[in-house]
Amino acid sequence: MGKIKVVHYINQFFANIGGEEKADYPAELRKGEFVGPGMALNQAFGDEAEIIATIICGDSYFNENIETTKAQILEWVKELAPDVFIAGPAFNAGRYGVACGTMAAAVKEELGIPALTGMYEENPGADMFKNNVYMIATKNSAAGMRDAVKKIAPLALKLAKGEKIGASCEEGYLPNGVRVNFFEEKRGSERAVDMLIKKLAGKPFVTEYPMPDFDRVEPNPAVKDLAHTKVALVTSGGIVPKGNPDHIESSSASHYGEYDITGVMNLDEATYETAHGGYDPVYANADADRVLPVDVMRDLEKEGVIGELHTKFYTTVGNGTAVASAKAFAAEYAQKLVADGVGAVILTST
């Protein structure tokens, strides 16, 4: 038997074509080439497997042309007839994660070829596809590439060979709802006591039956006197002054913006735009009030429905941004809002 044949899918960034400015790069097939993370994968395979082709597609292009692009890529993969298909890893890049999940699931379900991908657990693609395809759990950013490759390569070889796949804790993939039996060295009562002792001592331990973590937020009491309340606008829709002066990322935002709207009656096309990736920006760029309704708030202010509109708004990009980051942003600017006497906040998205 010859080497296991692998087809690898990556986006424009990992193909060294460009960043967001090249996100509209159409699907391309490069036969006989391994690019970007494919170099590390090929090395990890050793003599057992080789990447016979790399498929590249811009994140925006894929997500804006999903059906036609998926059909084209499936046609290429069918022709190449690999033993296994690998997409990514996508880490916490939202559009990339959706593309990787879409293609890995399609290759598995429509062509019957083993497929896997990898991404951060909070990537939107993880929720969408982790129950459809094996998905290696990665770190938040490409800084975790080495660790991701060390897990992806052996699982890909197992899938290609048709070998039995172990539990998620053994293989490193995100739990997919399928329980796999395996033998522990200690019986259950001993393991339970060990965990209890660690918990009482404040030491880290791993439960064998993780419960779902529901983030429930208790609603605040209704605003008693809205007509005398200062109201602020906050958005995850990425509305920023023209030119995006603080360079808020279009995906996986690492910070937020704080902008003064004193005297601003509406957000016109000449002075405001969206930095958000992952949705068609045309309508938001034509009239940013569609995402951040300053014009309507000014009307309510004039009519006396609200006391006043706060002189600042806070903005970031929700696309692929980690929940932990979003919480940290909110904790920081919430203190500023309180200090400025804001009594109510309207949160808008895309």
> Residue 100: which CATH number?
3.40.50.2300
Entry pTM: 0.64
Residue-by-residue DSSP string for 171-236: H-BPP-S-------SS-HHHHHHHHHHHHHTT-----SSPPP-----PPPPPPS-GGG-EEEEEES
Q: What is the pLDDT of residue 290?
A: 96
Please tell me whether residues 19 and 161 are part of one structural domain: yes
Q: What is the pLDDT of residue 180?
A: 65
Please tell me whether residues 106 and 251 are part of one structural domain: no
Please tell me whether residues 262 and 145 are part of one structural domain: no
Q: What is the pLDDT of residue 170?
A: 83
Please tell me whether residues 130 and 276 are part of one structural domain: no
Dihedral, CA atoms, 328, 330, 331, 334, nearest 10 degrees?
Answer: 160
- Counting the structural domains of the chain, the total is 2
Please tell me whether residues 147 and 29 are part of one structural domain: yes
Please tell me whether residues 167 and 44 are part of one structural domain: yes
196 within domain boundaries: no
Last residue of a domain, one of 154, 171, 188: 171
Cα gap 234→256, rounded to integer Å: 10
Cα gap 130→176, rounded to integer Å: 6
215 within domain boundaries: no
Please tell me whether residues 15 and 162 are part of one structural domain: yes
Please tell me whether residues 166 and 234 are part of one structural domain: no
Q: What is the pLDDT of residue 319?
A: 79
Please tell me whether residues 232 and 330 are part of one structural domain: yes
Q: Each residue's pLDDT tens digit in the chain (350 positions)?
A: 589 999 999 999 999 999 888 989 999 999 999 999 999 999 999 999 999 999 999 998 998 899 999 999 999 999 999 999 999 999 988 889 989 999 999 999 999 999 999 999 888 888 889 889 999 999 988 889 999 999 999 999 999 999 999 888 888 898 877 766 767 788 889 999 999 999 999 999 888 777 766 677 888 899 999 999 999 999 999 999 999 999 998 877 888 999 999 999 999 999 999 999 877 889 999 999 999 999 999 999 999 999 999 999 999 998 777 777 888 899 999 999 999 999 999 999 88
Please tell me whether residues 24 and 147 are part of one structural domain: yes
Cα gap 92→89, rounded to integer Å: 9
Closest CA to 107 of 3, 2, 6: 6
Last residue of a domain, one of 155, 171, 187: 171
61 within domain boundaries: yes
Q: What is the pLDDT of residue 264?
A: 96
Cα gap 74→173, rounded to integer Å: 24
193 within domain boundaries: no
Last residue of a domain, one of 171, 195, 213: 171
Assign 57 to helix, strand or coil.
strand
194 within domain boundaries: no
Domain assignment of residue 261, given as a range: 226-348
Please tell me whether residues 30 and 157 are part of one structural domain: yes
Dihedral, CA atoms, 129, 131, 136, 140, nearest 10 degrees?
Answer: 50
Please tell me whether residues 233 and 154 are part of one structural domain: no
Integer angstrom CA distances of residue 292 from 16, 246, 276, 295: 35, 18, 13, 9
